[in-house]
Structure 1
């Protein structure tokens, strides 16, 4: 299946309008409205249980909202996903790490949507996988069984799968959780490169110190959008306190971080 044509320049890549998601009596998202522009890295910040994963799954069309609408490049999420325009790297992969699956096999999964029912890899698929592996610095591990990789290497392999998909909109849920510094630096640099290429990246992270190097803008979420704007302003103690339900004094290191970034 060929990818849909890109949207007009300047139009939002992700549009979330007044979205409500409930799980029984629990409201996970309460009137969330968000627009993410093309060609930017947007950091999504919030405490555990704030609704970040639910927002991602709703944007992906994996969770149907109880109210509101979601559009990806102007289309329904399911349509965008089928067209290969939308990719997702979840926080935890449901994988049998003992299964005889190589790193190359995992990355090739990102090409399945373009291979039709036969899933027969063509030269273009092999080339895309090779490029993705090179970009995440795993070329030398391509034939290794996926369970033999370190945690950071595994995460890079699944990021490579998203890159091989060639999605114009890419969602990553906590890609830095449990990874080593090298993997964190590799993923950060790669996401910046993707944005420079015109891709749109929405990434949730708890690593506040890495956020200024990673993101063009930040969103603070606590079941609803508390803030959307410049990273320096998102990291103000008073804004983080609202997002994490803490007093500003309980956020060690943030004032120092702001001083180093020149935003105090």
Structure 2
């Protein structure tokens, strides 16, 4: 009997009004794999994230997360999310510990009163991302890399079996990049499935087990070293990539619409449209 994929996207089509964001896109990702999602302006990366998280309903096709609907998987705390920096209100008065504790909301009752187990899970997550000493600092006072690590810690405390990361290496220092990379490899080894939207193409072979090239459709899905061949990138980024080397972090991200923060505390997110 074949093993059930962690993420199954079948012939998903999404429109924003008259704009076609995804066109019969299909993707299957196995458990405990790290997959890099790459594509340029309007390729639909953000839209694919939203569909996988159950935040928008596709016009056609279906999505299953470990065999169940995205809404159910998210409700059960199975999906962790690391947003882009611009999607978060860093001035909101929450400490690093508060942000990580959000990952425990699904384990708490209506009072949202942390238990001993909740506090222990948060402490362990902070330790894993090397932020214990900053636990009581306001989240906006962290560096760019530390902020990303705080949201990774939220997913760890949550006990998520799937992590979606939107540009986790944008604007981060080398220490944070190395820490996040190590953590993602550890999480995958523990059985977590990880999907990363990234423009750091040079880092893909070291970080990811596989890569997906997206331009409204999934143009290619395979080993990073194969997907990153210039003739393949040209299908999504244009013919000019055949004549130049792509800088590690300089491919523009002009996707249709921002990815929304799916953390249980909506007030931290600048985006309020959860339709």
**TM-score (norm. length: structure 1):** 0.89
Shift in alpha-carbon separation, 1:95–1:204, aligned structure 2, 3 A: closer
1:106 aligns with 2:99: yes
- The answer as to whether partners of 1:109 and 1:161 remain within 8 angstroms in 2 is yes
5+ residue gaps, structure 1, are: 1-7, 255-264
How far apart in 2 are the matches of 1:216 and 1:137? 25
- Tell me the CA shift for residue 87 of structure 1: 1.8
Partner of 1:42: 35
How far apart in 1 are the matches of 2:128 and 2:243? 38
Partner of 1:209: 202
How far apart in 1 are the matches of 2:135 and 2:211? 34
What is the CA deviation profile of residues 95-114 of structure 1, one whole-angstrom value per residue up to 9, with x for unaligned ones?
43233311001100111111
Partner of 1:17: 10
Aligned residues: 247
Moved over 4 A (4+): none
5+ residue gaps, structure 2, are: 248-275
Structure 2 counterpart SS, 1:247: helix
Partner of 1:77: 70
Partner of 2:240: 247
- Tell me the CA shift for residue 116 of structure 1: 2.2
Shift in alpha-carbon separation, 1:93–1:117, aligned structure 2, 3 A: farther
1:139 aligns with 2:132: yes
Shift in alpha-carbon separation, 1:96–1:228, aligned structure 2, 3 A: closer
Structure 2 counterpart SS, 1:194: helix
Structure 2 counterpart SS, 1:175: coil
Question: RMSD of the alignment, in Å?
Answer: 1.6
- The answer as to whether partners of 2:80 and 2:154 remain within 8 angstroms in 1 is no
- The answer as to whether partners of 1:237 and 1:251 remain within 8 angstroms in 2 is no
- The answer as to whether partners of 1:217 and 1:228 remain within 8 angstroms in 2 is yes
Shift in alpha-carbon separation, 1:120–1:178, aligned structure 2, 3 A: same
Counterpart among 178, 182, 204 of residue 175 in structure 2: 182
Partner of 1:167: 160
How far apart in 2 are the matches of 1:99 and 1:199? 30
How far apart in 2 are the matches of 1:95 and 1:86? 18
What is the CA deviation profile of residues 47-78 of structure 1, one whole-angstrom value per residue up to 9, with x for unaligned ones?
13210010000000001101000000000100
